[in-house]
Amino acid sequence: MVSLPGLRSRKTVPARSPGELDAMAAAGAVVAAALRAVQQETAPGVSTKELDAIAETVIREAGGTPSFLGYHGYPASVCSSVNDRVVHGIPSADEILAYGDLVSIDCGAIIDSWHGDAAVTYGVGALIPADEALSAATRSALEAGIAAMVAGNRLSDVSHAIERGARAAGRAHDRAFGIVAGYGGHCIGQEMHMDPFLPNEGEPGRGPSLVVGSVLAIEPMLTLGTIRTRILEDGWTVVTTDGSRAAHWEHTVAVTEDGPRILTA
């Protein structure tokens, strides 16, 4: 997601009641099921449009509505971003997956007016070592951000944790990963994209505080090269400017008295 105008005066990240978190978890479970189904059906020769249809079927059969379909005119139920596409790739019948492709699928669902939002990155067949490291590093950055979802932290503590997780993964894999500039996570609830925006890097100790019930969609995006992107003529698809491959992992996460709760697990 691209940065939204921030509510600089907000003192806390919006909180949900325990019942509302359970409702969001129900939406999140549908998202998780759709992502599993898509990944299971991914193979050489399958189009990204076919994957989109699979996700929409899972969501609608669960009594949900795809969050993305029609959102500001977006024409599909998932975003399918392949290889150098970072986010917001539009599924197409003409885009046929091949062995070795790196695929990121972002999916959202609405159940009883509450949203869930998550993304995964995986390979069509076995990944080459560089792509494997990239996906693993992005997932590690996500996990670091999730671990920072505790009451008393500030919004930028999550951003800083994501950045530190990405840098640590880079050291572990002996390569530098680019943290995509200008994109990040967001608050979520009865709307998909809400303030505040969550950058994927930054200094700690800034922004609104996390309280029990605060919910954020945490979504690091890393590349094997540049941090810079451009948007294709379709008005949606974000690609790296140097053609390097990108990965995207996301979960919707709540702060609870017992620690972070992944609502899209």
Return the beta strands (E) in the chain as ranges: 65-66, 78-82, 85-87, 102-111, 114-123, 178-179, 184-187, 194-199, 215-218, 221-223, 229-231, 238-240, 246-248, 251-256, 259-262
Residues 6+ apart with CB under 8 A from 57: none
- Other CB atoms within 10 Å distance of the CB of residue 137: 25
Q: Can you count the helices (H) and strands (E) in the chain?
A: 4, 15
- In this structure, whether the domain defined by 18-262 belongs to CATH 3.40.50.10860 is answered with no
pLDDT of residue 3: 42
Alpha-helix residue ranges (DSSP H) falling in 42-125: 48-61
CB burial of residue 165 (10 Å; 0-12, 13-18, 19+): buried
pLDDT band at residue 9 under the 50/70/90 scheme: low
* pTM (predicted TM-score): 0.95
When the pLDDT of each residue in the chain is averaged and rounded to a whole number, the result is 96
pLDDT tens, residue by residue, 145-166? 999 999 999 999 999 999 999 9
